Amino acid sequence: MTLSADLLAKYAARPVPRYTSYPTAVQFHEGIDAWDYAGALSRLPEGEAVSLYAHVPFCDTMCWFCGCHTKLTRRYAPVAEYLQRLKREVDMLADLTGQRPAGHMHWGGGSPTILAPADILDLARHIYGRFPRQPGSEFAIEIDPRGLARETIQAMAEAGVNRVSIGVQDIDTRVQKAVNRLQSLDETAQVIGWLREAGIAAVNIDLIYGLPHQTVESVAATARAMAALGPSRLAVFGYAHVPWMKKHMRLIDEASLPDGPARWAQAQAIADTLLAAGYEAVGLDHFAKPDDSLVQAMRAGRLRRNFQGYTVDASETLLGLGASSIGALPDLYVQNVVPLDRYAAAIDAGRLAVTRGVRLSALDRLRRAVIERLMCDLRVDVAEIARQFGMAPQVLLPSQDTLQGLAEDGIVQLNGWAVSVPDAYRPLVRLAAAAFDAHAIPVATPRHAKAV
């Protein structure tokens, strides 16, 4: 659907969170520390499964569009030292939580595939040695296919990896040069072939629109090429240009970045291409094959959203491992310190590296549940969710003014306390979610990504 020029001008550049959590990381503060985290961990129900996220903050080249916490290195020694501390953090968390099963596990970065094959095996075995793996659970890892050795893929398979996410972004050479990420289509296809030969059939591909020199035609060509490789899922993100936060983004020529209407057209072109190829739209920005577990969870109303995006992971507790990683408990978010030297100092002293976070009130948890359902289902019955929390929907009454304005523009539909976003306006679902965000009323922060 074409968004009118007036609505594009009104909403396209509006900064709104991606809502992988609520409250979002912008609300994290230093009033939460390792003692708060340890106390919350000790109160977890005995034997309840947890999920784990391990952050590997190293890359051998810097992609200029990257918004992640990572460090450039050509030496392996810092990586090896970091892994030893990561394992000590695993031990500290296991000691605090007791022996409990691990559900979903995800390794991100940075580039986790910078790890030597032997270290991939060693780290996975160490984690699962302290948090025994639940049968049939997912172990996902983000990979950079550039220069990826077949031995690394074999180690991943032996470690139990059963899903991978491959960063592709765009196949146009001009775009790749503009963001310092040269990656041939043949290289990507070869790595996918090796993964399947190793028994890792669940392949996700990440694409980005809004990059320098992209056009509707070029992003559609990328989407067609990726669909032809047959991945299980594709995630399509809008590039967030935040050079005041990530200094390497200053290397991108801002004059070559598409404007709001162009970004909208690119997002629609990718969506149309993937839908025509047989994928189904999932939430804000994911597409998956009809038989994929993400689609099945969406149809059953069980789709979830966390810091890794859309997921079928039902765990209420996510343990973050490594520098900058975020952990989530039912009423608490925590984040480890970002600088590697400070992370090392904490672990070497036998302390958890948490230095910030936020505690959730009962009202926060209600808002989180409402926002998650909107982000996952594009609709929510606020009164029903409020009833589950023992509250009246009127506690969210300030949201109604914002929702009414969106309804007047057709972006949401209101039926009492039932809120829905028409499929044609799916890319704007974050605007509807922001109506329930106490911190986004009346204005969002420029630190968030653009709505389109």
pLDDT at 81 over 80: yes
Average pLDDT of 154-160?
98
Please report, as a single letter, which amino acid is at residue 441: I
For 262, residues 6+ apart whose C-beta sits below 8 A from its C-beta are 215, 216
- The lowest-confidence range among 41-45, 181-185, 203-207, 443-447 is 443-447
Topology (CATH) of 23-320:
pyruvate-formate lyase- activating enzyme (3.80.30)
Rounded to 5, what percent of the chain is helix, strand, coil?
40, 20, 35
Whole-angstrom Cα distance, residue 423 to residue 429?
Answer: 9
Whole-angstrom Cα distance, residue 82 to residue 79?
Answer: 5
Helix H or strand E segment including 379: strand 379-381
Q: Where in the chain is the domain with CATH 1.10.10.920?
A: 361-447
Q: Where in the chain is the domain with CATH 3.80.30.20?
A: 23-320
Decide: helix, strand or coil at residue 363.
helix
| pLDDT one-digit tens code per residue, 237-287 | 999 998 988 999 999 999 999 998 899 999 999 999 999 999 999 999 999
Whole-angstrom Cα distance, residue 361 to residue 377?
Answer: 24
Helix H or strand E segment including 307: none
Quickly count: other Cβ atoms within 10 Å of residue 101's Cβ. Answer: 16
pLDDT at 199 over 70: yes
Whole-angstrom Cα distance, residue 65 to residue 183?
Answer: 14
Average pLDDT of 206-218?
97
Please report, as a single letter, which amino acid is at residue 388: Q
pLDDT at 447 over 90: no
- Of the options 1.10.3720.10, 1.10.10.920, 1.10.8.60, 3.40.50.720, the CATH number for the domain spanning 361-447: 1.10.10.920
Helix H or strand E segment including 375: helix 362-377
User: Which pTM was predicted?
Assistant: 0.93
Q: What pLDDT sits at residue 448? A: 57
Whole-angstrom Cα distance, residue 61 to residue 59?
Answer: 5
Task: Label residue 1 by pLDDT band (50, 70, 90).
Answer: low
Q: What pLDDT sits at residue 444? A: 46
Decide: helix, strand or coil at residue 146.
coil
Q: What pLDDT sits at residue 400? A: 81
Angle (CA) 129 132 135, round 5°: 140
Average pLDDT of 337-356?
97
Decide: helix, strand or coil at residue 243.
coil
pLDDT at 443 over 50: no
pLDDT at 115 over 90: yes
Task: Label residue 315 by pLDDT band (50, 70, 90).
Answer: very high
| pLDDT one-digit tens code per residue, 273-312 | 999 999 999 999 999 999 999 999 999 999 999 988 999 9
Query: Average pLDDT of the chain?
Result: 94
Average pLDDT of 365-394?
97
Q: What pLDDT sits at residue 2? A: 62
Q: Is 274 left (phi over 0), alpha (psi -120 to 50) or beta?
A: alpha
Decide: helix, strand or coil at residue 23.
coil
pLDDT at 445 over 80: no
Q: What pLDDT sits at residue 177? A: 97
Nearest to 136 by CA among 198, 49, 68, 263: 49
| pLDDT one-digit tens code per residue, 125-148 | 999 999 999 999 999 999 999 999
Strands 332-336 and 326-329: antiparallel
Query: Phi then psi for 27, rounded to 5 degrees?
Result: -85, -5
What percent of the chain lies above the pLDDT cut of 90?
A: 86
Average pLDDT of 54-62?
95
Q: What beta strand segments (E) does 244-292 contain?
A: 280-282, 286-288
Whole-angstrom Cα distance, residue 324 to residue 89?
Answer: 13
Q: Is 339 left (phi over 0), alpha (psi -120 to 50) or beta?
A: beta
Average pLDDT of 42-55?
94
Strands 309-311 and 304-306: antiparallel
Whole-angstrom Cα distance, residue 217 to residue 175?
Answer: 13
pLDDT at 449 over 90: no
pLDDT at 419 over 80: yes
Q: What beta strand segments (E) does 22-135 contain?
A: 50-56, 58-59, 71-72, 102-109
